A and B are shown apart, each in its own frame.
Chain A
C-alpha cells in the first residue's frame, strides 16, 4: 500500500513512488488534504456560529421574560425560542456536523487508503448539501411570502 505522507507537502522527486491510479496522484491527494482541512474548519465554524445565535436568542428572550407584566403569558416567547433553536440547528449546526464527518472520512482515507472512506466522505458532503438545500428552499419560500405581504401592504397604502 503506498505511503500518502510523501505526497502531502511536496511534489514527488525523481525516483519516488508515483501511482498511476488517478485517485492516488500527488495532485489529487494534495487537493483532498486541503479539502479535509477546510471542511473541518468550516464545520466547526458553522457549529460555533449556530451555538452563538442560539445563545444570544436565549439570552434575549430571558431578558424579555424578566420584563413581562404579570398578566402577559410567556408562551409566545418560549415558542419563539424553541422555533429559533430548531431553525438555527437545522440551518447551521446540522450541516456543520455533516461537513465535519466528511472531513473525518477524508482523513481516514488519507491515513488508511480505505476507498470506502472516500465514498463515505462524498456521501457526507451530499447530506450537507441536502440539508442546506432544504433549509434554503424553506427560508426562500418564507422570504417570498413576506415580500408578497410587504408589496401588498405597499400597494394598498398607495393612493
Chain B
C-alpha cells in the first residue's frame, strides 16, 4: 500500500522512515501525517500565546492606572486581581501548548504527541472552567443590576 503519492501532508521524514513490517507501515504513516498537520499550527499557537501575554500586560497597566486614581473598592480590586491571575495562567498554558507543538519539529513521534495532547487538555480544562465562571458572573451581575433598578 503506497501512501506517499496520496498524502498531501507527508513530512520530509516520511521518505526516511525505516522499512516497517506489514501492518505497521500504515500507522507510522499516520504519525507522520499528524505531525505534519500539527506543525502547521505552531505559528498560530504562538500568536495566541503572544496575544495572551499582551492582554495580561494591558490589564496590569490598566490596574496600575486605576490604583493611582483610587476609585475602586475591595470588591472591584478582587475582580481585577483575579482577572490578572487568570490571564497570566492562560498565557502560561497557551505558551506551553505552543511549545509542545514547536517541539514536534525536533522530536517528531508519538511520545511528543503525548505531550501535545496533555498540554492541550490542561489548556481546555482551564478554558472550560474559566469560561463557565465568566458566564455565571456575567449573568449574575446582569440579573442583580436589573433587580436593583
Contacts and interface: CB of A to CB of B under 8 A. Distances in A.
B138 interface: yes
Nearest to A92: B131
Contact of A49 (B9, B44, B117, B135): B135
Interface string B86-129: 00000000000000010000000110011001101100110110
A17 to B, nearest CB: 16
B138 A45 contact: no
A31 B24 contact: no
B125 to A, nearest CB: 5
B124 A39 contact: yes
A143 to B, nearest CB: 6
Nearest to B130: A45
A42 interface: yes
A125 B120 contact: yes
A41 B124 contact: yes
B114 to A, nearest CB: 6
A145 interface: no
Interface in A7-65: 21-23, 27-28, 31-32, 34-35, 38-39, 41-42, 45-46, 48-49, 52, 56
Interface string B58-81: 100000000000000000000000
What DSSP secondary structure best describes chain A's contact surface? helix
B45 A115 contact: no
A21 B30 CA distance: 12
A137 B27 contact: no
Nearest to A25: B110
Contacts of A125: 38, 41, 120
A120 B110 CA distance: 16
A126 B58 contact: no
B41 A130 contact: yes
A136 B48 contact: yes
Nearest to A22: B110
Nearest to B113: A28
A35 B50 contact: no
Contacts of A140: 47, 50-51, 54
A122 B9 CA distance: 12
Contacts of B50: 136, 140
Given A41-B128, A119-B33, A52 B48 contact: no
B27 A48 contact: no
A126 B38 contact: yes
Contacts of B46: 133
A129 B101 CA distance: 11
